[in-house]
Amino acid sequence: MTQAKRQSRKLGWRFVVFAVALVFLSLALVRNVWVDVYYIPSESMEPLLLTGDRVLVSRMAFAGHPIERGDVVVFDGRGSFTPLKSGSGPLADGVVGAAQWLGLAPNNNVYVKRVLGVAGDTVKCCSADGLLEINGVAVSEGYLYPGDEPSALKFEVTVPQGKLWLMGDHRSVSLDSRSLLGMPGGGLISTARVIGSPIANVWPLGRIHPIDTALP
């Protein structure tokens, strides 16, 4: 009888270990193929995303169609945004992945910005009316943080194939493509670095809602 009990306990523990491993493998598959959760640590995308928000990011957002002007993208900033310095430390202007949120691993290389220029676009600031110009046409940016101007820094860039020009919605505090002007790459981010797009806010409780990134 004792031998049977011991055998039963061993089988029970093996089942638990197998079940836990299966759960972690399933979560890893979901996170790497379909969706992931990211924490927003800064105000650079206000009012769309607030500091402390946890957002669900679809990795399939751009499957089957190209990234378009106005899309909000989450991207890997290594080789571009990550080397930037802000104040006393690295650029604290991005998003933090689920692994870091759970205390399992650090991730300081992922950022979220809005696409203002795709391949072939010429993006300029500012027009005679103080607006952002894209391909010679002044655009009204209804998503901007109230009171912000399109850009205090004057610039004009033409976006080559495979690249994006990205800016935050809270322009006065956002470190974005403008901050990389004069550096290798000139502020342009590779489309291959895009992870996906935020589709829903999942935390805090009072801010659970689908995220509408469509241009006003």
pLDDT tens, position by position, 106-129: 357 889 999 999 999 999 999 889
- Is there a domain that residue 131 lies in? yes
- Residue-number span of the structural domain to which 4 is assigned: 1-33
Ramachandran quadrant class, 130 (left: phi over 0; alpha: psi -120 to 50; beta: rest):
left
- Which pLDDT value is given to residue 106? 36
- Is there a domain that residue 199 lies in? yes
- 133-143 pLDDT tens trace: 999 999 999 99
Longest dimension (CA), the chain: 90
Pair (176, 202) in one structural domain: yes
Pair (13, 110) in one structural domain: no
Pair (25, 75) in one structural domain: no
- Is there a domain that residue 215 lies in? no
Share of the chain above pLDDT 70, in %: 71
- 1-30 pLDDT tens trace: 555 555 555 556 555 554 445 444 444 444
Pair (12, 71) in one structural domain: no
pLDDT interval class at 94 (50, 70, 90): low
Pair (124, 136) in one structural domain: yes
- Is there a domain that residue 163 lies in? yes
What one-letter code names the amino acid at 199?
A: I
Question: What end-to-end distance do the CA atoms of the chain give, in Å?
Answer: 72
Q: How far apart are CA 145 and CA 127, in angstroms?
A: 19
Pair (70, 170) in one structural domain: yes
- Is there a domain that residue 158 lies in? yes
Q: How far apart are CA 168 and CA 148, in angstroms?
A: 11
Pair (8, 50) in one structural domain: no
Catalytically annotated residues: 44, 113
Pair (1, 104) in one structural domain: no
